[in-house]
Amino acid sequence: MKERLGDRPIVAGVPTVLAIALLAAILSSCGGGDNSTTVTSVAGCKVVDAPEPKEVSLSAPEQTVKAGEKLTAVVQTSCGPFEIALDTKRAPQIANSFSYLAREGFYDGLDFNRVVSGFVIEGGDPLGDGSGGPGYTVVEEPPADLSYTRGVVAMAKTPSEPPGSAGSQFFVVTSHNAGFGAEYALLGEVSEGYGTVARINKLPAPEKCPSSRS
């Protein structure tokens, strides 16, 4: 049986389980004097409020994850849970950073800000517009033979960043093969609950209300 963080001390030989929470179905309410509201949902998904953007500035963590250590992220969403088996053997630095952010509660309450049906779902941005991150970058080149096939989880980056650059944003591939070259840092693979990922992938990307901040 898997133990969640906080339930009891981690015992040697028992896989470490991280618990993170991201939102999937978004209730979007924007502009207009009529206070109109658009509800976006899919069967099996609960409608939730869009998170407020937040600035985050953290320092890169020390390497504590051991290569080959069994590490699973349990992702709780408004469309149900799914699990990511982190690839600590081929990507120990990326797994370490993701683990650190999960333990810090960085991902709690964030949403999947990019949803492209039949391609990817992407989340982990505290600003919610694709430009946010944790305040640091880790670089670990992905395996040269990596194929971004359905269920593979990797880290998002901008085109100008070198291969393997990673902050906090990650994506789950939902196509048979996304067709990327070995550019995006490997995180792991969905090991349980792919049906949740499929439900999220049926949702349009959350609408972002115009900011009232000057």
Q: Tell me the domain boundaries of the chain.
A: 16-201
- Residue 42: which pLDDT band, with cuts at 50, 70 and 90? confident
58, 138 contact by CB (below 8 A): no
Beta-carbon contacts of residue 192 (< 8 Å; ≥ 6 apart): 82, 83
pLDDT in tens, 143-160: 999 999 999 999 999 999
Prediction pTM value? 0.85
Mean pLDDT, residues 35-41 taken together: 46
- Residue 47: which pLDDT band, with cuts at 50, 70 and 90? confident
Please tell me the least confidently modeled range out of 19-23, 46-50, 173-177, 186-190: 46-50
188, 86 contact by CB (below 8 A): yes
DSSP string of 7-53, one letter each residue: TSPPPTTSPEEEEEEEE-SEEE--SSTT---EE---TT---EEPPPP
Mean pLDDT, residues 96-107 taken together: 96
Tell me the percentage of the chain whose pLDDT exceeds 90. 75
- CATH 2.40.100.10 for the 16-201 domain, yes or no: yes
| Greatest C-alpha distance within the chain | 59
Q: What is the sign of the dihedral through the CA atoms of 129, 54, 85 and 199?
A: negative
pLDDT in the model for residue 112: 94
Helices (H) and strands (E) in the chain, counts: 2, 14
| Tokens read off for 61 | 């963590």
